[in-house]
């Protein structure tokens, strides 16, 4: 077994930390305190784990919505009582009115997308002014990814033979969210720290967020009129990004 394989094996049993479910749930519950029957949407809801934990912690009625393109996962979300709707989130306008959501979650999804600006623009459209956007992504600058790059390896979170097509660092994600002043980042957190066991990983990710496996940000939708797509439309890019219609 190579040194890389030995180090990779040490992470076994801590993979759940990468999803930051406790962070997501705590922020989501906090974001709707005082809101009667809040509307919460999970974009790329998967099997509904995040919304199920939020509902459990919230302990009261909430309108739980999800968008999911993988039918087996969507069916499992439906079984949890979530209004999970089939959608191609990179190409289909979200089936919700403007300013209809109190909180929107996008956890471990953006790294899979080319049309990340389409998704962020739709999120900016449907979140109420003062509402909350919660995002979780793998950290391209995690300390183990830095070591891999130094050794000539592609960082594990963005390998060519893999599902991810984008990489994010803490500064890059914050800058992306705050483009055009449609969102203001209010809180940041890290989770997971390879190859440390869970207790040490939790401690290390608090001490050095930028070296964590997962990055999480909570942003507030400002009261700026229009949608996030407006600022992207004004930036020259040498690729044909799809943006929602005006």
Q: What is the pLDDT of residues 61-103, one digit of tens each?
A: 999 999 999 999 999 999 999 999 999 999 999 999 999 999 9
pLDDT above 70: residue 235: yes
What does each C-alpha distance from 188 to 24, 55, 88, 173 come to in angstroms? Answer: 11, 22, 28, 10
Q: What is the pLDDT averaged over residues 204-208?
A: 93
Predicted pLDDT at 10: 62
- Phi and psi (nearest 5°) for 111? -70, -15
Banded model confidence at residue 207, pLDDT cuts 50, 70, 90? very high
Which pTM value belongs to this model?
Answer: 0.93
Virtual torsion, Cα 192, 196, 199, 200, nearest 10 deg: -100
Who's near 221: CB < 8 A, 6+ residues apart? 124, 127, 128, 129, 130, 131, 132, 133, 182, 183
């Amino acid at each position: 077994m190579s040194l890389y394989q030995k180090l990779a094996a040490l992470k076994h049993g801590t993979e759940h930390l990468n999803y930051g479910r406790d962070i997501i749930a705590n922020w989501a519950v906090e974001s709707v305190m005082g809101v009667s029957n809040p509307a919460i949407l999970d974009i790329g809801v998967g099997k509904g784990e995040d919304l199920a934990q939020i509902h459990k912690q919230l302990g009261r009625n909430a309108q739980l919505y999800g968008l999911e393109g993988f039918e087996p996962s969507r069916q499992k979300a439906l079984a949890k009582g979530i209004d999970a709707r089939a959608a191609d989130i990179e190409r289909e306008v979200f089936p919700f009115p403007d300013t209809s959501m109190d909180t929107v979650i996008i956890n471990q999804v953006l790294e899979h997308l080319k049309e990340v600006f389409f998704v962020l623009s739709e999120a900016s459209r449907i979140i109420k002014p003062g509402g909350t956007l919660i995002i979780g992504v793998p950290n391209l600058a995690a300390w183990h990814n830095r070591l891999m790059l130094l050794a000539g390896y592609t960082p594990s979170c963005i390998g060519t033979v893999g599902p991810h097509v984008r990489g994010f660092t803490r500064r890059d994600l914050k800058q992306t969210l705050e483009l055009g002043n449609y969102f203001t980042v209010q809180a940041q957190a890290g989770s997971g720290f390879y190859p440390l066991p869970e207790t040490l990983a939790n401690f290390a990710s608090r001490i050095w967020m930028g070296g964590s496996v997962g990055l999480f940000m909570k942003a507030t939708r400002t009261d700026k009129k229009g949608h996030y797509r407006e600022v992207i439309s004004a930036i020259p890019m040498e690729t044909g990004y799809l943006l929602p219609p005006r």
